[in-house]
Structure 1
Amino acid sequence: MTFAPENNNKFDAVAPTADGGFIALGSTLAEKYGGSESLLLVKTDGRGNETWTVTMPEIAPASVAETDDGGYIIGAYNMSTTVVDQDFNYQGSSFLIRTNAAGEEEWRQVIPGMKVSSVEETADGGYAAIGWLWNPPESENETTAVIVKTDGDGTPAWNRTFPGISANVGTVTADGGYVLGGTKSPFTYDIGDAFLIRLDADGNTLWHENYQVPVIFDVKETDDGRFVYAGNYWYGLVDGDGKEVWLRNMEGLTGYAVELRPSGGYVVAGTDARSGEGFVFGTDGDGTILWDTAFTATGIYGAASAPGGYTLAGIRFLSPDTSAAWLAGITEAVSPAPTAAPGFGAAAAGAALLLLLAGRRRRG
């Protein structure tokens, strides 16, 4: 399905909802260059048909999740850039926004100086917001990774900071702790800059490991307490202590999302940095690719597990000057065979994917 309330639109994240549908978060721009960005929140049924749409002006999207009571928690931010003595000065704030099941805003909390990457509900009914702080010009480090733990009203209870790095993703672990992932700098990704940090429920560091990859964009905990991640050109698996189990190269593909396969193994989705095409592939437990496919004129930035398959979220390019926010549902082949290494074309052998959600919807 495509959603186009303005000339330029995209989805950055998608999450399943308890009613079998999805909540998708993205942005919309009336003007491609110099226009004001508005947050786009769309609730759909299980086949991607719109239930309702909400826009929030002057903020950019980061993450969304359904809460235990059927509402939604949104991470969003705004940012400005100034140049002082040839140094770039980044300023902005993050927002934790709580809505009810109909998308109506109930409260909004501001976290000054933070660029939020992800937010999740915690077992005590509060929230964990993860991202980074912009450091002033001439600071020793460009950014400082941060996790902010709040109560149920979004009021900060505690925070932990990690100088010299930036967190692109975070998740609440099965034991009530947290894992943060990211890179040394949000501007330059170099081999060895990627990291994972594991914290206990009180925010104490259990371990901090770096890996020989540039950046981590998504991480998921596995059923046996390990962690699978995806980023620029690599995806990997580490054990519960952060020690590498295996690492696989993706040959120019950027993995923005990783999910667990119900039958074992993993799904990685993202965008080819060379062609701009979206991709998705499934692996076995050792990271060997079993099926894969690509999507022309489409970039993929988010993914979620769904009954019988997966839902992908991103952008569909309609013309050089227009784009639509895009959702698609896929299911994988029953008995896929291993395929060659990534770098596949529009429909690689062995993919056997069925697009469940198709068509185009335009509004406005």
Structure 2
Amino acid sequence: MKNYFFIAFFFILKLGCEEDYQDNSPPSIYIDSPTDGTTVSEITSIKCIATDNDSVKNVELWIDSSATGLIDSVSPYEFLWDTRSYSDSSIHIMMAVAEDMNNNFSSSDEVRLIVDNTNSNPSLITIESISYSLTNMIITFEKSKDDDFSSYELLRSQTNTSEKNSILNISNINDTIINISDFNPLDSTWYWIKTKDIYGYESIGSGYLVIDIPPSISTLESINFTDSLFILNWSQNQDVDFESYTLNESIFSDMLNPLQIFQGNNSEITFFNRSVVQNQYLYYQIIVRDDWGLQSYSNIKVGCSWYLFNELYGESGFQYGRGMLQTNNGDYIIVGNSSVFGDSFSNAILTKVNYKGEQIWKKDYSFSDTDRLNSFVELENGDLVLVGYSMSSTNSSKDILIIRSDSEGNIIWQHTYGGNEDEVGNSIDITSDNNFIVCGDKIDSNNGKSLCYIMKVNENGEEYWSDEIGGEQNDHGYSIITTSDGGSAISGMTRSSGNISGDAWILKLNNDGIIEWSKSYGGNGSESGRKIIETNDNCYLIVGSSDSFGSGDNDAYLIKIDSQGNQLWSETYGGGGTDHGRFVMQTVDQGYIISGYSDSIGESNNFDFWLFKVDPLGVIEWQRSYNSDGNDRAFSGMQTLDGGYAIAGYGSLNSTTPPDLKIIKTDDQGLTN
């Protein structure tokens, strides 16, 4: 019984002693990682080691002497510190505070950490391409290379600076192609890829603008004219959203009031043949349209249905064009001479070219050492009667040469006319009785001076009569026409009447060659009348040259006189150099076209073909100079059947090459291209 009491007493005593015992020993703690001086970023793991003689209740993380509220009660003690709110390169003091079960506390040694999040954001992702069709848009972008990748997000906005709207999210790092159907490429839209990492960091790559641009431009090529067709070609459009070509035509160079002449949906069909009438300019443009309704406009090309050319015709040696006519079928025939050595030892030539400027045939006529043709007429049956000169076989003087050929240049007959002195035929016309009258020059055997020489022959070349007209000085007959009263008129130059330097000279003859009147025109210098025509109002117009009037050394000279030779008006044309008028013709609008050559009109310092148009009073409407590197001289011209103009003479490629026969065919404004 006592033993039980003792045991109970001892137990009570022992309990009393235990209640009086208090544990005041704090736990032990240190930061295991990161170590002092470490640079940390993003979400950093902090590991602590804490021990106690009893047990550790918890561990709390302190930053910069402030409790973070991060508490861990289970060993190992670990914290995730979010550094993203701290400035880069900032230094922070970290320590851990441990508490045991008896409310004893202890703190670790301080650890200094450096925060640097400059490289913490995900890598910027670039959109590589965006393509689209009518129903689908494909967006391709780079793959993220970050180990802490979380997701891609497609953003979209109407401008580069406005709020970005989220379209969709992708969590698969390998999924770098996005297909969307909600888009309109006609509206300017920006796209971005935003990347997020597992720590919540995010970055947005460069924007990619999508705005449907107009289709690639198709280029319209030069337009070829073949007979009644314009041949149009253009470059193929290679765009995937191609819808159609539209070919427009306009009479205006700026495509005002266009007419649609073709539309096609096959991108491979890039040609069209347009039926056109001759002698006009039309303008063309290709419009390319895409599936979105956007359009692009090509260059504008002009189609010319005039037959235009600027051609030289020749072989070896020298080729001179003197006179030209357009035949009844629209071809051109030119007379002149050719030579290996120049003006001496030459052949008379007759050349025919078609309306395109292509040479059809050429005839060489050789009757003596020196033969030359200056003028000709075409008969109703197509025969040609040609005049010039040939060297006499008896006395080596020049004789007038007249040839009649068929329409192909085959000689029907040929005759020479003359005596012991030189006789030259410069011009020929058909008389009112269907014979031929010729004017030219003849050397006076008494004084060696030149006289105007006229003669009339029948259809077989038999001479009816001839006459010499002139005075004691040099007088020349350059051009003769049959007049409406059945007589004839001659233009030339005289030094025997008027000024000794030379005046333009006009002779009016009756049908028998009797002079009705003779007049000279000019000033104190030298004038000549190279070509005469009868105008529609029964007056006469003469073109030549003058150095008495005008602004240059020599100017083209135009005189209008009435039927009695009274001067109505005169005009000069040219620049500061030498300008010659050699041919004139009344045009269908009652104005006049004049051709010749000039070294003061245009850009060349050499003589160039010259063509100008004047109104009925001689006021110039336009003029053209056809520049070349050689010396060119035009002696003949005309208004052609199509309303354009043609001029002929001779020219060369440059100053060192011999001349060739030259023809220029223009439109109604004197243009050749």
Sort the TM-score into its range (normalised by shorter chain): 0.7 to 0.9
Residue aligning to 2:667: 331
Once the two structures are superposed, what CA deviation does each residue of 1:38-74 show, in whole Å capped at 9, x if it has no partner? 1121122223222221011230121122112211010
- Alignment correspondent of 1:226: 539
Q: How does 1:277-316 map to 2 (within 5 A)?
A: 277-297=608-628, 298-307=632-641, 308-316=643-651
The residue aligned with 1:354 is 671
Structure number with bigger Rg? 2
AA at the equivalent of 2:468: T
Relative contact order: is structure 1 or structure 2 higher (C-alpha 8 Å, sep ≥ 6)?
1
Displacement of 1:140 in angstroms is 4.2
Show the counterpart of 1:132. 441
Alignment match, 1:344: none
Q: For 1:354, what is the secondary structure of its paired residue?
A: coil
Query: 1:192: how far off?
Result: 5.2
Provide the rounded CA distance (Å) in 2 between the counterparts of 1:183 and 1:90. 26
Secondary structure in 2 aligned to 1:215? strand
Shift of 1:151: 1.1
**TM-score for the superposition, normalised by structure 2:** 0.46
Q: Structure 2: how far apart are the matches of 1:16 and 1:241?
A: 31
What is the match of residue 592 of structure 2?
A: 266
Indicate yes or no: 2:564 matched with 1:241: yes
Which of 373, 387, 400 is the matching residue for 1:61? 373
For the Cα contact (< 8 Å) 1:73–1:121, is it kept in 2?
no
1: CA distance between counterparts of 2:454 and 2:599?
Answer: 29
Mapped pair 1:255 → 2:255: no
Q: Is the 8 A contact 2:390 2:416 kept in 1?
A: no
Percentage identity across paired residues of the two chains: 20
Give me the whole-angstrom Cα distance separating, in 2, the residues matched to 1:53 and 1:143: 33
State the one-letter code of the partner of 1:127.
F
Change (3 A) 1:197 1:22: same
1:6 corresponds to 2:316: yes
Aligned to 1:21: 331
Tell me whether 39-48 or 149-158 shows the greater mean CA deviation: 39-48
**1:310–1:329: 8 Å Cα contact kept in structure 2?**
yes
Encode CA deviations 1:14-49: one digit per residue, 9 max, x unaligned.
0121112121112212234x8521112112222322
2:382 aligned with 1:48, yes or no?
A: no
Q: Which residue of 1 aligns with 2:272?
A: none
Which stretches of structure 1, 4 residues or longer, exceed 3 Å deviation after superposition? Answer: 189-192
| Counterpart AA for 2:389 | Y
Structure 1 counterpart of 2:317, one-letter code: N
Q: Is the 8 A contact 2:494 2:520 kept in 1?
A: no
Contact 2:324–2:637 under 8 Å retained in 1:
yes
| Residues 90-239 of structure 1: pairs in structure 2 closer than 5 A | 91-112=397-418, 113-136=422-445, 139-140=446-447, 142-164=449-471, 165-184=475-494, 193-212=503-522, 214-232=527-545, 233=555, 234-239=557-562
CA contact under 8 A between 2:454 and 2:467: conserved in structure 1? yes
Judge conservation of contact 1:6–1:28 (CA < 8 Å) in 2: no
1:316, CA displacement in angstroms? Answer: 2.0
The answer to whether the 8 A contact 1:197-1:205 is kept is yes
Gapped runs of 5+ residues in structure 1?
81-88, 334-352, 357-364
CA-CA distance at 1:190 after TM superposition:
5.9
Cα 1:284–1:62 shift into 2, 3 Å: same
How far off is 1:91 after superposition?
A: 3.2
Residue aligning to 2:347: 38
**Hey, what's the Cα distance between the residues in 2 that align with 1:190 and 1:40?**
36
> Aligned residues, how many?
324
Question: What per-residue deviation string (whole Å, max 9, x for no partner) do you get for residues 156-199 of structure 1?
Answer: 1122321232101111112221001111259xx96552210111
**How many Å separate the matches in 2 of 1:226 and 1:160?**
25
Q: CA deviation at 1:126?
A: 1.4
Match of 2:386 in 1: 74
Contact 1:196 1:208 in 2 (8 A): yes
Question: Counting strand residues as a fraction of each chain, which structure ranks higher?
Answer: 1
Counterparts of 1:121 and 1:5 in 2: how far apart (Å)? 33
Which consecutive residues of structure 2, in runs of 5 or more, have no partner in the other structure? Answer: 1-310, 546-554, 601-605
